[in-house]
Structure 1
Amino acid sequence: MEAATSKCSSAETCPPVDLSGDAGWVAFDAPSLVGASLRFVSGEPDGNRYRVRYYRDPDQQLRARIWFGPETEGPPGHAHGGAMAAVLDEVLGLAAWAAGYPIVVGNLNVSFRNLLPLEQVVTIESEVISTEGRKVMVHGRICSGETVFAEAECLCITIRGK
């Protein structure tokens, strides 16, 4: 995906962006799975903070296309690390739910690799790595082509009685 050619300010509504998935990806209705808990990152699909669309790839792993808008700015012209961590928290937790594990995140370890320019559509990849008792380990990363912006390990804990 290419970076957006026009920059917008947080005072104006940014233009639409293309969040299409790759060939073989199937749209995934995340809100129908977990409800309103997705409102922090996914709650404003046309806002200036985040815009996200979820998919399942041919291996049934959860993928997302996400755009970091001007309201996620940290270093000038780039997404804040906390904004990136929030996205990884949502996507990796949702990956466990999509795999059939109702969870809460117990620990999220994020390693930042590169600055992420604002208004660029990137991909979030996720993979459920292992399950043991109530523990579900999910790995993921924010990337665009060969560039990795952040990687994360997420220890999820299943919710009793769900």
Structure 2
Amino acid sequence: MTKATAKKVCTTLCPPVDLSGEASWTDFDAPALVGESLRFVSGEPDGNRFRVRYYRDGEQQLKARIWFGPETEGPPGHAHGGSMAAVFDEVLGLAAWAAGYSIVVGNLNVSFRNLLPLQQVVTLESRVISAEGRKIMVHGRICSGETVYAEGECLCITIVKK
């Protein structure tokens, strides 16, 4: 499917997407925490690029249910690695904010494990691993069931308030 065909198909065929989380998860209002900075990935909740909904699990770790639409296409029929990296940047950074740290992303490493089919809802699980001085380490993975599509680690740096 070419990008032009994907756009045409998506305009007429992309229905609403169920981004429901697990029963034990609670909704998380990410825009209320960080405002407009979520525009790149989360900015079009009904768009044809990404659709995202945030949750916290029982341990208060951030989870995201994400749909990669046709506008994220890289390899035919699959999400572009850059689109997956953009999602990691937003979700892992937001996980640090949700844990109480005002941060910017200093370094993001993504390891791709499997091709991610387009128009499939997946979960990004995140976990704050450590906090030492100004350095906050957050890990995550994009998965569906037992299939892991990518794993990411993010070094976040706390913002110095002047």
Identical amino acids, percent of aligned pairs? 83
Cα deviation, 1:67-94, whole Å, max 9, x if unaligned, reads: 0000000000000000000000000000
Q: Hey, what does 1:38 align to over in structure 2?
A: 38
Matched residue, 2:137: 137
Shift of 1:9: 3.1
Alignment partner of 1:10 out of 7, 10, 19: 7
User: TM-score, length-normalised on structure 2?
Assistant: 0.94
Q: TM-score, normalised by structure 1?
A: 0.94
Alignment map for 1:73-152 (pairs within 5 Å): 73-152=73-152
Deviates more, 1:73-82 or 1:10-19: 10-19
Cα distance in 1 for partners of 2:82, 2:43 equals 17
Q: In structure 2, how many angstroms separate the alpha carbons of the residues matched to 1:156 and 1:150?
A: 19
Q: How many residues align?
A: 155
Runs of 4+ in 1 over 2 A off after TM superposition: none
Partner of 2:60: 60
Q: CA deviation at 1:21?
A: 0.4
Residue 16 of structure 1: CA displacement?
Answer: 0.3
RMSD across aligned C-alpha pairs, in angstroms? 1.1
Secondary structure of 1:9's match? helix
Gaps of 5+ in 2: none
